């Protein structure tokens, strides 16, 4: 079968062996694979120089083959979306304290999902979520981008920030942010979307944000209109976005980090006295759970959230798409819809 592989920082298509399904695993014929910014960061070695050979962790496809035991979770012919993103979606034990508390990515046995830029992919079957035909293949980025945004928003309720309260989303027009704006608006929060450039701000408004504001004006506008927001979700993959996020919070506010800047950006620093005076709550949110994915598929089927797709292409175009993505050529997501060409 055809599959994308990274060699010396470049991504190309190679002929590789078909995957075989191990115990509790299913082989999915991939019909669409989203291109996530993480794939680009990994291909370029942006994160501590980590460079896996295979990337791609967002996919929709049809179950073709089952390993022993997988019939308990899925069936041949099921149309499915991979349900747990890149972090921890490949395997989790299901029995340790983290798994049982809904944080399988911290499971000592957790494995990631990597390699969906391929005609076929073997995956841990409990992570698969069935999707209705009304949710098209181009929604493949829900598998990581959408799930990560949804998982971060659910943290607001966990920390008692109720609908009706003002929240800010930094990096609002991006691959993750654009889901967060739609979902937060649907949940009834008063949403401030922060990004840069007129086109991106217009896009944020069209997705339902109450206020769309440029990064350089955000702190002043938020202070004046809301006296600070109850929570800020930082999707921007820059340390500057983290620093801006902290400046938007009211006292006691919740800071949710999501975007992962390149390690060359340096550290996110907090003055302990500022921490003491403002009493911020600072957490991180990565992907979500399989249950979150099921809920997200229902929200997508109900029309509450939709992927903004700006580019589709064949597997052979992946290298070009990576270049376009790093040059920020489009607002929304790119999806590989032909894995055999």
**H or E segment and range at residue 1:** none
Q: Which is nearer to Zn ion, 36 or 129 (CB)?
A: 36
By the rule CB under 5 A, 107 interacts with Zn ion: yes
Q: How far is the CB of 43 from Zn ion (least distance, A)?
A: 13
* Smallest separation (angstroms) from Zn ion to the CB of 112: 10
Bridge-based pairing state of the strands 333-338 and 25-35: antiparallel
Q: Which one among 3, 11, 35, 99 touches Zn ion, defined by CB under 5 A?
A: 99
Q: Binding residue for Zn ion (CB under 5 A) from 96, 219, 270, 331? A: 96
Burial of 247 (0-12, 13-18, 19+ CB in 10 A): middle
Residue 285 CB, nearest distance to Zn ion (Å)? 13
Q: Provide φ and ψ at 266, rounded to 5°.
A: 85, -160
Nearer to Zn ion, 148 or 161 (CB): 148
Gap between the Cα atoms of 184 and 209, Å rounded: 9
Q: How far apart are CA 193 and CA 210, in angstroms?
A: 8
Q: What is the spatial distance between Cα 102 and Cα 122, in angstroms, rounded to a whole number?
A: 24
Piece of 103-111, 161-169, 189-197, 234-242 that binds Zn ion (CB under 5 A): 103-111
State which of positions 9-68 bind Zn ion (CB under 5 A).
Answer: 36, 38
User: Which residue's entry shows tokens 């209109």?
Assistant: 225
111 touches 157 (CB < 8 A): no
Among 93, 277, 328, 341, binds Zn ion (CB under 5 A): 93
Stretch that binds Zn ion, among 63-71, 82-90, 210-218, 320-328 (CB under 5 A): 82-90
Question: How far apart, in whole angstroms, are the C-alpha atoms of residue 155 and residue 208?
Answer: 20
336 binds Zn ion (CB under 5 A): no
Residue 38 C-beta: closest distance to Zn ion, Å: 4
Contact 55, 117 (CB under 8 A): yes
Cβ atoms of 9 and 109 closer than 8 Å: no
| Span interacting with Zn ion, options 5-13, 93-101, 186-194, 315-323, rule CB under 5 A | 93-101
Q: Would you list the DSSP string of 24-90?
A: TEEEEEEEEEEE-HHHHHHHHTTTTT---S-----EEEEEEEE-TTGGGT--TT-EEEE-S-SSS-S
Residue whose CB is less far from Zn ion, 218 or 339: 339
235 versus 242: smaller Cβ distance to Zn ion = 235
CB of 108 to Zn ion, least distance (A): 7
Nearer to Zn ion by Cβ, of 38 and 182: the residue is: 38
Q: How far is the CB of 55 from Zn ion (least distance, A)?
A: 9
Q: Tell which positions 118-177 bind Zn ion, by CB under 5 A.
A: 144
Report, in Å, the least distance between residue 34 CB and Zn ion: 8
Nearer to Zn ion, 149 or 191 (CB): 149
Of 101-109, 123-131, 223-231, 329-337, the window that binds Zn ion (rule: CB under 5 A) is: 101-109
CB 20, min distance to Zn ion, A: 25
- Residue 109 Cβ vs Zn ion, minimum distance, rounded to whole Å: 6
Burial class of 257 by CB neighbour count within 10 A (0 to 12, 13 to 18, 19+): buried
Give dist(CA 60, CA 125) in Å, integer: 13
Q: Which residues bind Zn ion (CB under 5 A)?
A: 36, 38, 86, 93, 96, 99, 107, 144
């Amino acid at each position: 079968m055809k599959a994308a592989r990274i060699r010396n920082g470049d991504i190309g298509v190679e002929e590789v062996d078909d995957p075989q399904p191990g115990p509790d695993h299913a082989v999915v014929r991939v019909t669409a694979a989203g291109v996530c910014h993480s794939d680009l960061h990994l291909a370029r070695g942006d994160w501590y120089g980590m460079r896996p050979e295979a990337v791609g962790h967002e996919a929709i496809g049809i179950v073709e083959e089952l390993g022993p035991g997988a019939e308990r979770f899925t069936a041949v012919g099921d149309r499915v979306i991979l349900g747990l993103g890149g972090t921890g979606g490949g395997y989790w034990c299901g029995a340790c304290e983290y798994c049982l508390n809904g944080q399988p990515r911290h499971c000592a046995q957790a494995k990631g999902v990597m390699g969906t830029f391929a005609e076929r992919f073997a995956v841990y079957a409990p992570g698969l979520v069935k999707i209705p035909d009304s949710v098209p293949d181009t929604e493949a980025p829900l598998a990581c981008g959408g799930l990560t945004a949804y998982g971060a928003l659910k943290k607001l309720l966990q920390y008692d920030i109720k609908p009706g309260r003002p929240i800010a989303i930094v990096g609002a027009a991006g691959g993750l942010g654009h889901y967060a704006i739609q979902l937060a608006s649907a949940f009834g929060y008063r949403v401030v979307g922060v990004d840069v450039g007129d086109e991106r701000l217009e896009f944020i408004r069209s997705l339902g944000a109450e206020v769309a504001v440029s990064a350089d004006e955000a702190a002043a506008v938020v202070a004046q209109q809301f006296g600070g927001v109850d929570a800020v979700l930082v999707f921007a993959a820059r340390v500057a976005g983290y620093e801006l996020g902290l400046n938007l919070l009211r006292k006691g506010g919740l800071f949710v980090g999501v975007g992962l800047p390149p390690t060359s950006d340096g550290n996110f620093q907090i003055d302990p006295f500022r921490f003491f005076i403002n009493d911020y709550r600072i957490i991180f949110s990565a992907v979500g759970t399989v249950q979150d994915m099921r809920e997200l598929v229902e929200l997508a089927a109900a029309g509450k959230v939709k992927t903004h797709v700006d580019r589709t292409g064949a597997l052979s175009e992946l290298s070009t798409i990576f270049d376009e993505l790093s040059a920020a050529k489009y607002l929304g997501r790119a999806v590989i819809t032909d894995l055999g060409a």
